[in-house]
């Protein structure tokens, strides 16, 4: 077990909040495979305050998936305080604030990564959220900054800490990079050196090799997996076992990865991949979504997940073509059984 923000976690490998993907079904699967903490998709603070439609679907979670985190976004302290106090967030153990979303609509409204231009406002937003949180830890997710070459993350992280943040997650890409280019985890290491609270490294962790590289560069307190987990929830179990290794067991004197550690990682990945039953995962995922969404919506959500399950298999192209005709849950199962069965 590992302590994070006062929570007892089974692993320090977390599932990131991913818009369009981190639904209740996928969070449950990642939890089952070893994720120490799972985050909802980001939820609008104003939407919560005004009773906007859709929040209940985003906030639904299977009761056994604990501990659990909710991510909210907004830039007005008053609304953030009210949202944090909302009864619908009472099931969550931790409240995370999105200050990294690069999407144009969010950025133009002053939310997400736009907050990084205003460290004073970051401090106020965190403080207000804490006031409404009922004593639960409040954390912040940041990017490197807005424009490449102009890092803002250390000052923003310090502002978040000053406002009472219990931890900061760093995704060290700039807003203008969106999801392209490489994550610069030397910036994560700078934040780790500057803060007294926990720092989570996010970005470019997709397998054991990249986990080893990010761990060496960032020296973080926990590691967050986003797009690398899509179609591969088994990755959390692999990385959780590797995370239990000491630095001396992983790295050689020249900073490279020891051959025995690399071989062990390859063995774990191969075993997990071969043991993974994608059809069973799809069935569980669909079963959870059917509790909270109309069937047609479930079918549409699962189309993207099916493509990720099929990625890097001989059936990837066939699945991409097949999902275009999916309209029902039966169609989802038909494609899954035809192309993903072990």
Task: Report how far apart, in Å, the C-alpha atoms of 70 and of each of 15, 241, 303 are.
Answer: 12, 26, 24
CA 57 to CA 22: how far, in whole Å? Answer: 11
What burial class does residue 179 get, using C-beta atoms within 10 Å of its C-beta: 0-12 exposed, 13-18 middle, 19+ buried?
A: exposed
- What lies within 8 Å, CB to CB, of 329 at 6+ separation is 286, 290, 295, 298, 299
DSSP one-letter string for 277-291: -HHHHHHHHHHHHTT
CA 186 to CA 172: how far, in whole Å? Answer: 9
Strand partners, 9: 2
Q: Is 101 a catalytic residue?
A: yes
CA 116 to CA 303: how far, in whole Å? Answer: 34
H/E stretch holding 107 reads helix 104-108
Size (the chain), residues: 342
Strand partners, 7: 4
Contact 165, 131 (CB under 8 A): no
Contact 340, 278 (CB under 8 A): yes
Contact 83, 96 (CB under 8 A): no
Active-site residue, from 101, 156, 279, 307: 101
Catalytic residues: 101
């Amino acid at each position: 077990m590992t302590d994070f923000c006062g929570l007892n976690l089974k692993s320090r490998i977390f599932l990131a909040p991913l818009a369009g993907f981190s639904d209740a079904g996928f969070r449950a699967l990642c939890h089952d495979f070893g994720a120490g903490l799972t985050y909802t998709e980001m939820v609008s603070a104003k939407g919560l305050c005004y009773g906007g439609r859709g929040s209940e679907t985003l906030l639904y979670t299977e009761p056994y998936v604990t501990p659990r985190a909710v991510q909210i976004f907004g830039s007005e302290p008053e609304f953030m305080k009210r949202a944090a106090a909302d009864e619908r967030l009472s099931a969550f153990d931790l409240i995370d604030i999105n200050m990294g979303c690069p999407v144009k609509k969010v950025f133009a409204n002053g939310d997400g990564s736009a907050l990084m231009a205003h460290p004073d406002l970051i401090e106020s937003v965190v403080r207000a959220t804490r006031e409404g949180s009922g004593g639960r830890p409040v954390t912040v997710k940041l990017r490197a900054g807005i424009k490449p070459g102009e890092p803002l993350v250390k000052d923003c992280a310090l502002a978040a800490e000053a406002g009472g943040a219990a931890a900061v997650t760093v995704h060290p890409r700039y807003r203008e990079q969106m999801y392209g280019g490489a994550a610069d985890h030397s910036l994560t290491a700078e934040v780790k050196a500057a803060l007294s609270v926990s720092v989570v490294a996010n970005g470019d962790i997709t397998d054991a090799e990249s986990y080893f590289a990010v761990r060496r560069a960032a020296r973080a307190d926990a590691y967050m997996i986003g797009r690398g987990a899509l179609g591969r929830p088994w990755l959390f179990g692999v990385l959780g076992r590797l995370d239990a290794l000491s630095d001396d067991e992983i790295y050689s004197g020249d900073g490279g990865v020891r051959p025995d550690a690399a071989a062990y990682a390859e063995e774990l990945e191969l075993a997990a991949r071969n043991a993974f039953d994608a059809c069973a995962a799809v069935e569980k995922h669909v079963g959870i979504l059917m509790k909270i969404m109309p069937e047609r919506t479930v079918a549409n959500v699962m189309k993207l997940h099916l493509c990720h399950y099929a990625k890097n298999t001989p059936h990837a192209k066939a699945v991409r073509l097949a999902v275009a005709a999916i309209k029902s849950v039966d169609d989802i199962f038909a494609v899954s059984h035809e192309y993903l069965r072990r």
